[in-house]
Amino acid sequence: MKNNENLLSVKNLFSLEQNKNLEKEIIEILMQGDIPIICVNNEQKKKRNMPFSSLFGSGSRFWLQEHSWNYFISEECRKKIEELTNTKPVNWDVNIHPKAPKQEVVLTAQQPAQEVVQETSALMNNSEEVPDLSFHLDLLNQVTANKTNNSNVPNPPNVPNVSKLKHSEEVTNIDYHVNLLNKLIADKTKDPKVISGVLVNAVRDTAIINRNIIMGAIQYPNNDAKSLTQNLVKSTIEMVKISSYFQMENLFQNELINTLMEKRECPVVKHMIRVYLSGIAFFEFYNRLMSSSYAVARLRIEFKEKYFPFYATLLPHLDPSQITLERVFYKGMRGIQPNLFYNWALGLLIHDIGKDSSIEYNEGEANYIRGKAAEHVKIGISSITNKTNYCREAAIITGYHHDYYNNSNSYGVYYNYLLNFRKNNPGKSQDFCIGYDLENLLKCEVLSYFPAKVLEIIDIFDSLTDINRVNSKVLTQSEAIKVMWNEYVIKHRMLDPILFNIFVVFKTK
């Protein structure tokens, strides 16, 4: 955007004496065209672009909420709306000229991992991107309105003995952590050591308690089990929403990992915590990239040279001219909507709920037993689906995060599901690689599910770099990236190369 470009305030766009049909028509244009909204924070002197659809998902009148952000559309977008609606009210001529935004984070298309690091490091170090808090405005307003004193925060249950708590005490433990995290927000606490300690404890206890209660509920009939776990589900969803805020604010930085490493938990629990926190941070980072039209445009331009060979092997039945970026991502790459963000985050938290603590999850090591490890995805998706009222997305992520594009190394649930579908429907094929919507996956219109493909990458990376790794060398970040690129992207074609490159940029930021 140029410095002298005229902008129209979104408030002016909708503060019209217009009929509801016209307002609805404007919203549909903004949604369907995924029009970028220019978000300006004059107090912090920051600016960023966000898709209208993402902001609208946080509240249908987000531009009227009381906070420090103001919202604009470009002159080009204004003219497009005028043309499509055949309308030009007087107050659409009121223009403002905010300062030009900082340089945006740009997605580099597929290259060897080291080239990605070199090309993006300088840009990342100088970036002053604003965390996207649009998902959390309603939550934060509620927290501020109900700000409590220290005396109102309950004393914590006996955290070290959380595995020995009674059912009701376990759920109360999660509620305690939710209240404490709420209070940190209300008090505007910025100390990363305080935040990381509270956050790690909250995620750790919630993961353990979910595992304890859900595994215990397996012995009950489905309806009885769902009744038993209903309070667990409610409290865990609240914990996911409030903990996601801290990840998007990025208030704890490296202290989080240091705190986590000091916790003496079993390797599976540590792994679940790290994957959850890394995953929601990645989702936020991905949304930042999707807010830049240049990121997707560059991918599209370089697709044939950088990515085509990989995806041609996944879609061999298509004519080469048909294999484009839009064939990789069903209906094109797009940002993660708020409701999906939280549902997917929940799936990350409980993804290994069915894994026994004795399982070594570092594949390829001496004590790795494939059959035993594969069983955990079946236990996970079955128990979450039948014994709880968690959303379907969370259950699917749990069961599908080892599908690896359905190659010979796959042991996810979708692998067998897809084989049966192909057997019973020989005339149908999967013409797209990754889907964002669950229905496309369940209809076998795509090869994989976006959050499961992201989880595969984070899952393997955490395994390779885990300090508790046995029988194999603990890899550094750069070593792990190199191994994943050579073994899991190039050689075995298990991980998605586009998402992997985004992950590399995310880890080097």
Question: Could you write out the DSSP letters of every residue in 78-120?
Answer: HHHHHHHHT---GGGG-EE-PPPPPPPP----S--HHHHHHHH
Amino acid at 360: E
Pair type for strands 432-435 and 36-41: unpaired
pLDDT at 188 over 80: yes
User: What's the mean pLDDT in 107-131?
Assistant: 34
The pLDDT score that the predictor gives to residue 5 is 61
Specify the higher pLDDT residue, 468 or 163: 468
Which residue is listed with tokens 């595995």? Answer: 163
User: What's the mean pLDDT in 456-477?
Assistant: 87
- Spatial distance between the Cα atoms of 109 and 303, rounded to a whole number of angstroms: 7
The pLDDT score that the predictor gives to residue 93 is 55
Which residue is listed with tokens 């999906």? Answer: 340
Specify the higher pLDDT residue, 194 or 285: 285
User: What's the mean pLDDT in 457-478?
Assistant: 87
User: What's the mean pLDDT in 18-39?
Assistant: 73
The pLDDT score that the predictor gives to residue 30 is 79
8: pLDDT confidence band, cut at 50, 70 and 90? Answer: confident
Longest dimension (CA), the chain: 73
User: What's the mean pLDDT in 174-192?
Assistant: 87
Cβ-based burial of 219 (10 A; exposed 0-12, middle 13-18, buried ≥19): exposed
The pLDDT score that the predictor gives to residue 233 is 96
- Spatial distance between the Cα atoms of 288 and 134, rounded to a whole number of angstroms: 12
The pLDDT score that the predictor gives to residue 148 is 34
Pair type for strands 69-74 and 7-9: antiparallel
- Spatial distance between the Cα atoms of 276 and 449, rounded to a whole number of angstroms: 17
Highest mean pLDDT among 41-50, 137-146, 190-199: 190-199
What residues are paired with 7 via a beta bridge?
74, 96
Tens of pLDDT, residue by residue over 309-354, are: 999 999 999 999 999 999 999 999 999 998 899 999 999 999 988 8
Lowest mean pLDDT among 9-13, 298-302, 467-471, 485-489: 467-471
The pLDDT score that the predictor gives to residue 237 is 96
pLDDT at 408 over 70: yes
- Spatial distance between the Cα atoms of 406 and 413, rounded to a whole number of angstroms: 10
The pLDDT score that the predictor gives to residue 176 is 92
pLDDT at 9 over 70: yes
- Spatial distance between the Cα atoms of 196 and 204, rounded to a whole number of angstroms: 12
Amino acid at 465: T
Would you mind telling me the total number of residues written for the chain in this entry?
A: 509
Three-class secondary structure assignment of 413-425: HHHHHHHHHHHHC
- What mean pLDDT value characterizes the chain? 76
The pLDDT score that the predictor gives to residue 170 is 84
The pLDDT score that the predictor gives to residue 195 is 82
The pLDDT score that the predictor gives to residue 239 is 95
361: pLDDT confidence band, cut at 50, 70 and 90? Answer: very low
State what percent of residues in the chain have pLDDT above 70. Answer: 70
pLDDT at 401 over 80: yes
Specify the higher pLDDT residue, 406 or 139: 406
454: pLDDT confidence band, cut at 50, 70 and 90? Answer: very high
**248, 133 in Cβ contact below 8 A?**
yes
Element (H, E) at 447: strand 446-449
The pLDDT score that the predictor gives to residue 344 is 97
User: What's the mean pLDDT in 152-157?
Assistant: 36
SS3 40: strand
- Spatial distance between the Cα atoms of 327 and 81, rounded to a whole number of angstroms: 29
Closest CA to 174 of 208, 148, 147: 208
Q: In what order do the strands lie in the sheet with 69-74?
A: 46-51, 36-41, 69-74, 7-9, 95-96
pLDDT at 127 over 60: no
Highest mean pLDDT among 1-10, 214-223, 291-300, 492-501: 492-501
Cα-based torsion angle of the residue sequence 245, 246, 248, 253 in order, rounded to the nearest 10 degrees: 180
Specify the higher pLDDT residue, 290 or 53: 290
Specify the higher pLDDT residue, 313 or 356: 313
The pLDDT score that the predictor gives to residue 166 is 62
